Structure 1
Amino acid sequence: MAAAYFLLPLDHLGPGRPVLSWLLFVLGLAFVAALLLRQIRDVLIERPHNRPGVAIPLLILVSVHIFASAYYTLAKQPGQFTGLRTRVDALYFTVVTLATVGYGDITPRGQTARVVTILQILYSFVFLTAAATALTQWLRGLVERRLQRDTHE
């Protein structure tokens, strides 16, 4: 996943192609949200052969990469970010924002950067929290089933 992030052709996005940049961002987030909702539904209905232990963490990583890519692309526009110059900076800022740490060394200054940061916070609050909760519920059920199986043997 990390290699894919660093190999993405992000230099073709940004101020020179704003429509394409925004379209890819919105479609990427919508696609990941739909897949997360499907995983959440499958956990809630206890669908057999569901693998949320693999799918949910992978989808969370994809959403982190989408936001990091958006921040990196936005940072090409003067005045959008202070302290964000590289892909590593963008990934770092995404993780720090996701973890609600906020060190302050990278700061969204422009209105667009602030809106995308707000979107990340809301997206994380709604989709990633629900997905993490579903994953926890699935793991709890898995442990309970194994304990029941071990006590009946």
Structure 2
Amino acid sequence: MPSNRAWFDLPQLGPAGSWRDVGIAVGRGALVVGFLVLVYSMVPVDGFNDERAVAAWVRLVAVGLAFLLVLGVELRIVASSHAPMIRAAEAVVESVVAFVCLFALLHLSISTTDDQSFSEPLDRLDALYFTSGTLATVGFGDITPVDPLARTVVTVQMLAGLGVLVIVVKAAFHAASRSRRP
């Protein structure tokens, strides 16, 4: 028998599933996203050189590990939340923004090393714009990777981005469904 309930029914979000909880989550999410963007704008970025060519790969691994750390923290918070479904949605947004900021720093670092790595030199806003467009699969074509290192890192970002969207959503809502609710 079909239900007359809307697909987004607040009582199904958990015992604390109220508009107040949604408002708190939106506010908290905005603060976390703002903090991530602030950190992104303040982290010093230097380039690589021939003597430190392996640094690009080390940074790529560091980006992956940093993202896994953020995701792990987010999942623990979801599992212990009193409104886990709301917190899971918040965790998805925060994790994706962290992913974008981390890869934007990597693209910026590559561009700082060689301003010919992309079709134009990237500043912080350009790197964030390019990374967001790549993740969203929009790819306007105004900024493109040109050299092999930039193309490789962007390819890794594209493949990882597809997986991140699926894995983060699945993991966050799985943690929410298994949480210890009062």
Using the size of structure 2 for normalisation, the TM-score is 0.61
Q: Residue 49 of structure 2 aligns to which amino acid in structure 1?
A: P
**Aligned equivalent of 1:62:** 98
Query: Is residue 115–residue 122 contact of structure 2 (8 Å, CA) maintained in 1?
Result: no
User: 2:145 matched to 1:98?
Assistant: no
Task: Report the number of matched residues.
Answer: 137
Identity of paired residues, percent? Answer: 30
The alignment's C-alpha RMSD in Å is 3.0
TM-score, length of structure 1 as denominator length: 0.71
Q: Displacement, 1:63?
A: 1.3
Give the match for residue 64 of structure 2.
Answer: 29
- Which aligned pairs between 1:4-153 and structure 2 lie closer than 5 A? 4-11=39-46, 13-15=47-49, 17-33=52-68, 35-36=70-71, 47-49=79-81, 51-76=87-112, 77-135=114-172
- 8 A Cα contact 1:33 1:127, kept in partner: no
Output the CA distance in 1 between the equivalents of 2:89 and 2:115: 41
Aligned to 1:145: none
Cα displacement (A) at 1:80? 1.1
Instruction: Give the Å deviation of 1:112.
Output: 0.5
Q: Provide the rounded CA distance (Å) in 1 between the counterparts of 2:76 and 2:124.
A: 34
For the residue of structure 1 that corresponds to 2:109, the secondary structure is helix
Please report how far the alpha carbon of residue 22 of structure 1 lies from its aligned counterpart in structure 2 after TM superposition: 3.3
Unaligned runs of 5+ in 2: 1-35, 178-182
Read off the aligned partner of 2:68 and give its amino acid letter.
A
Q: Structure 1, residues 54-109: CA drift from partner, whole Å, max 9, x if none?
A: 43322222111111011111112143101242110000000000000010000100
